Amino acid sequence: MCNNQEGRTAIITGSARGIGKAIALKLASRKINIAVVDVLLEDAQKTADELSSLGITSRAYKADISNFTETESLIKKIFEDFGKIDILVNNAGITRDNLIIKMTEEDWDKVININLKGVFNCIKCVSRILMKNRWGRIINISSVVGVMGNAGQLNYSASKAGVIGMTKSAAKELASRNITCNAIAPGFIKTAMTDKLPEIERQRLESMIPLKKLGEPEDIANATAFLASDEASYITGQVLLVDGGMVM
């Protein structure tokens, strides 16, 4: 696989830390310039500085992607700063877990607005630029719970299932302009959230996974880098499960 995509520019939402940051580091290693988008501007700037030290151009942006007007302004600003946009990675997402009888309307709306509407906003605002390029890669980070569901995550599961449907529809609409759109569905990945789990709960999760271990953020980053590359030019509308075999 060619490891150099010098001159291309990627937008990665939710990339100040965690999986998003791992994706940013991976793409930067392939000489892709990175727009780091996050609600945490200070953390986003630290990540952008780290990426810039790798010899690429990187800038930090604060935005609420659930707001269409704000997203539209964000994409316009990134395009002005970099002069082009080639790759969009929709990684930003939140959880507000609870059983359905206890889940509030606010919990539902917040998750749907960021995890689902936010992806729509970003795709819509970037698509026209990619269409003019006649080349583009859109990678949406979904989840295995969008495929199999999960008790206590009605809102999150719905949002991630919606992302899969959106991915397939966008893939069909944009294919004629040489733009691919795919989704990655991570399983249980080591993050700050899983680090806080009691050991017995961690062991329970690992027992559900055929490979008997949690994934690393780099596993998602590697899959993203492949789908963003020229080698994945004949893959579109697909959902790649990166879950250690949990869902088959």
Distances (CA, A) of 167 to 97, 112, 160, 171, 184: 24, 16, 11, 6, 10
Give the chain's end-to-end CA distance (angstroms, integer): 27
52 CA to centre of own chain: 21
Residue with tokens 């990187």: 58
The catalytic residue positions are 156
What is d(CA 236, CA 168) in angstroms, rounded to the nearest whole number?
8
- What is the number of other CB atoms lying within 10 angstroms of the CB of residue 67? 15
Cβ atoms < 10 Å from Cβ of 144: 21
**Of 157, 64, 65, residue with least CA distance to 103:** 157
